[in-house]
Chain A
Amino acid sequence: MSAYGAEAKPRMGFFTDTSVCIGCKACEVACKEWNLIPDDGFEWSGESYDNTGELSANTWRHVTFIEQHKSLKNGAPTADALHVDGEVATADGSPEPLRWLMESDVCKHCTHAGCLDACPTGALFRTEFGTVVVQEDVCNGCGYCVPACPFGVIDRRDLPRSPEDAPLALPLLGRKEDGRVWKCTLCYDRLKGGHEPACAKACPTDSIQFGEVDELRERARRRLAKLETEGWNGPRLYGDDPDDGVGGFGAFFLLLDEPEVYGLPPDPVVPTRHLPRLWRSTALAAGAVLVGIAATFLGGAE
C-alpha cells in the first residue's frame, strides 16, 4: 500500500477453503459479537440450514448451505467424507449421490473495489493492510456503494430495529440511529492490535485462513492440487487471479462448484473499469445537448 509510505503493511486477507467448512456458523457469531452487529430477526429460511440469507449490513459473514445430488468425489458415489450426508434411493433402487456444500461468504476486499471508487464522501478508504473499510463517522448514507458492488456485499442499515418493534420510538430512533452503510472491515481494529479477525480466530476447521494475501495464494494452490489429486468433484479457486475483473480478491475462496451455485457472480467486473469510456460518452452527449438546443434557435424566435 504505497500511499502509506513507511506505515504500509503487507496486504492481508482471507483464504476461505470451503472443502473443510462444516457449517457451524461460529464465524457468523464471532463476527457479530466482536463487531457489535444487530440481529437479523431470528427467522427460519427453510433453505437448508441458512437463516441469514445473504451478506448485508447486519451479516458480514454468511454461511451458505447447498444440498446437491452430486457425488463429492469423481467416480462412484461414496459416503466417506465430511460433506456426504448419505445416499438416497432413486425410483429404481439404485443409490443417488448427495453432497452438502457449505461456504462462509464475506466481503472480497477487492484490489479494485467498486464501493470505494463510487463513494463520494471518502468515507470508504483503503487501509494500510490493503483492506476496504467504511469510516462510519463520515458516511452520509448516499447509498451509491450499494449497487456499485458486483457481489452485493455492502448495504445500508436503515433502522436499528423493525418498525413493529418500536412504532412510537421510530421518529426518534429511525433515521437518527443509523442510515449509513456497513460491511466487513476485516476486523481493522483487531489487525491494528496484531490479532487475526474474529471469524478466522473462531473457525474450528481452519476453513477460514487469515494471512498475507501472497502467501495465502500459494497455500490455496497447494490445497487445490491436493484435492485434484484426491479426485474431488469440481474444486476450483475463485478470486485468486490478479488479472480478473476486480484485480483479484483480498478474501478469496476454494469452491467445489460454479460460483453462481453459491450466489457468487461467475465473472465480476468493477463498474469503474468502464468509466473512461462512460465519461467520454457523457461528455459527447453533453456536447450534443448544447449543439442540439443551439440548432433549435436557427428557426427564429417564433
Chain B
Amino acid sequence: MTSNGSITQVGTEMQSYYGKPIVKEPVWKAEIPFYLFTGGVAGGASVLHGLARLTGNHRLARSSLYIGAVADAVSPVLLVSDLGRPERFLNMLRVFKVTSPMSVGSWILFVSSGASTTAATLELLGALRPARWLAEALSFVTGPPLATYTGALLANTAIPVWSEARDELPWLFGASAAASAGATAAMVTPAAAAGPARRAAVAGVAAELGLVRLMRRRLGFVGEVYELGEAGRYARVSRVCAAAGAGLLALRGRRSRPAAVVGGALVLAGEVALRWSVFKAGFQSARDPRYTVLPQRKRLEERATGRGR
C-alpha cells in the first residue's frame, strides 16, 4: 500500500469505491437481444418487400411480406414480455417523446407492426386491395427507421461501450438488418426470384464486418469488452458464421437450393450472435468502473489543457 494512496484503489490506474460499478447494468433480459434481431428482420424485410413490389418481383415481394409480418408480430410480444409490468404495455403510447429513442421506437414498431401484419393478412385473403396497398406503403416507410433506431436506443445511455459507439451502432444495426432480412428471404424464395435478397445478405454482412472493425478501433480501450467474456465469444461466433454464410450464398446460392438454405441459416446465426455480443458488451462495460471513469478523466484533462471543447 502506498503511503498516499487510497485503500480502495484498484490497481495503479485509477481510484474507485471498492471497485464497484458507477453506472447500473441494464435490467433487460434475453427478450431484448432477440428483439434487436427480429426488429431488424422486420425492418429489412419491409424494405425488401416494398422494392420487390415496385420492380414487379412479386414472388420475392410475397415471401418478404410474410417474413416481415411474422417478425413484426413477434417483436412486440418480446418487448411486452420484458417489461416489469407487462399489463401496462399500452402506457408506451401515452406520450411521444423525441428525447427517448424507446418512445420513438415504440411508435415506429406500433405502426410497422400493424401495417405489415395487416398487409400480410389481406394478401393471404386476397381481399381489399386498396387497403393492402396503404398498409404495404406504411410498412415500407417505417422499415428503414425500424432497422436502425435500435442503435440509437442503446447509444442513448450512460453505458460507455454503447454511448461511445453512437456514430456506428445505427449503421451496424442497419447492416445487420439488411443481412438478416436478405438471408431469410433467400432461404424461402426460389433462386430465380431471390437475387436481390442474396445480394442484400452478402452486402449486409460485408458492411457489418467492416463496421464492427471500425467501431472496435474508434472505441479504443472501452471497446476491449468485445474481446472479453461472453461479448467476445458471441463476437467470434458472429464473425465466423456471418462470413461463412455470406460466402456460401455468394458462391453457390444461385445454383443450389440447399446451399442457399444453409448459407442463409449461417448468416442468421451470425446476426443473432452479433446482437447478443453488443448486448452483453453493455453489461460488461457497466460492471467495470474503469470504463466509466478513465474516458471521463481523459476528457477533463483535455479540457484542462485546452485541447478539448
Q: Which of chain B's residues have a CB closer than 8 A to the CB of A154?
A: 24
Q: CB distance B91 to A152 under 8 Å?
A: no
Bound-state Cα–Cα, A190 to B7, Å: 39
Q: CB distance A262 to B91 under 8 Å?
A: no
Q: CB distance A285 to B158 under 8 Å?
A: no
Bound-state Cα–Cα, A46 to B86, Å: 38
Q: CB distance A278 to B83 under 8 Å?
A: no
Partner of A293, one of B149, B155, B158, B200: B200
Known contacts A120-B97, A302-B254; is A278 also within 8 Å of B166 by CB? yes
Q: Which of chain A's residues have a CB closer than 8 A to the CB of B241?
A: none
Partner of A278, one of B4, B92, B152: B152
Residue of B nearest to A139 (CB): B85
- Determine whether A271 belongs to the interface, using a CB cutoff of 8 Å to chain B: yes
Q: CB distance A121 to B156 under 8 Å?
A: no
Q: CB distance B191 to A293 under 8 Å?
A: no
Q: Which of chain A's residues have a CB closer than 8 A to the CB of B174?
A: 285-286, 288-289
Residue of B nearest to A118 (CB): B100
Q: CB distance B195 to A300 under 8 Å?
A: yes
- Determine whether A248 belongs to the interface, using a CB cutoff of 8 Å to chain B: no
Q: CB distance B7 to A67 under 8 Å?
A: yes
Q: Which of A36-44, A165-173, A175-183 forms contacts with chain B?
A: A175-183
Chain A, interface residues (CB within 8 Å), range: 35 or more
Bound-state Cα–Cα, A274 to B160, Å: 13
Q: Which of chain A's residues have a CB closer than 8 A to the CB of B82?
A: 142-143
Q: Which of B165-191 contact A (CB under 8 A)?
A: 166-167, 170-171, 173-175, 177-178, 182, 191
Q: CB distance A140 to B156 under 8 Å?
A: no
Bound-state Cα–Cα, A262 to B286, Å: 17
Bound-state Cα–Cα, A151 to B21, Å: 10
Partner of B196, one of A69, A123, A263, A299: A299
- Determine whether A264 belongs to the interface, using a CB cutoff of 8 Å to chain B: yes
- Determine whether A217 belongs to the interface, using a CB cutoff of 8 Å to chain B: no
* Chain A nearest Cβ from B215, distance in angstroms: 12
Q: CB distance A147 to B159 under 8 Å?
A: yes
Q: Which of chain B's residues have a CB closer than 8 A to the CB of A175?
A: 84-86
* Chain B nearest Cβ from A152, distance in angstroms: 4
* Chain B nearest Cβ from A227, distance in angstroms: 20
Residue of A nearest to B153 (CB): A144
B197-211, CB under 8 A of A: which get 1 and which 0?
101100110010000
DSSP class of B's interface residues: helix, strand, loop or mixed? helix
Q: Which of chain B's residues have a CB closer than 8 A to the CB of A69?
A: 1-7
Residue of A nearest to B254 (CB): A302
Known contacts A67-B7, A90-B3, A118-B100; is A143 also within 8 Å of B195 by CB? no
Q: Which of chain A's residues have a CB closer than 8 A to the CB of B307?
A: none
Q: Which of chain A's residues have a CB closer than 8 A to the CB of B89?
A: 140
Partner of A180, one of B4, B84, B155, B203: B84
Q: CB distance A121 to B24 under 8 Å?
A: no
* Chain A nearest Cβ from B161, distance in angstroms: 11
Q: CB distance A123 to B199 under 8 Å?
A: no
Q: Which of chain A's residues have a CB closer than 8 A to the CB of B26?
A: 143, 146-147
Known contacts A47-B18, A282-B170; is A292 also within 8 Å of B5 by CB? no
A33-67, CB under 8 A of B: which get 1 and which 0?
00000000000000100100110000000001011
Bound-state Cα–Cα, A271 to B163, Å: 7
Q: Which of B90-146 contact A (CB under 8 A)?
A: 91-92, 94-95, 97-103, 106, 143-145
Residue of A nearest to B295 (CB): A267
- Determine whether B148 belongs to the interface, using a CB cutoff of 8 Å to chain A: yes
Partner of A138, one of B91, B159, B289: B91
Q: CB distance B20 to A263 under 8 Å?
A: yes
Q: Which of chain B's residues have a CB closer than 8 A to the CB of A152?
A: 21-24, 158
A256-284, CB under 8 A of B: which get 1 and which 0?
01101111111110011011011101111
- Determine whether A148 belongs to the interface, using a CB cutoff of 8 Å to chain B: yes
Q: Which of chain B's residues have a CB closer than 8 A to the CB of A118?
A: 99-100, 102, 156-157
* Chain A nearest Cβ from B71, distance in angstroms: 15
Q: A68-B6, A68-B8, A263-B17 are in contact. List 15 more A-B contacts (CB 8 A).
A: A90-B3, A122-B94, A122-B97, A143-B26, A143-B28, A148-B158, A178-B84, A263-B22, A263-B289, A277-B167, A285-B173, A299-B196, A299-B199, A301-B60, A302-B191
Return 8 A-B CB contacts under 8 Å, by A number: A70-B6, A121-B92, A141-B83, A141-B85, A156-B27, A178-B84, A282-B149, A286-B147
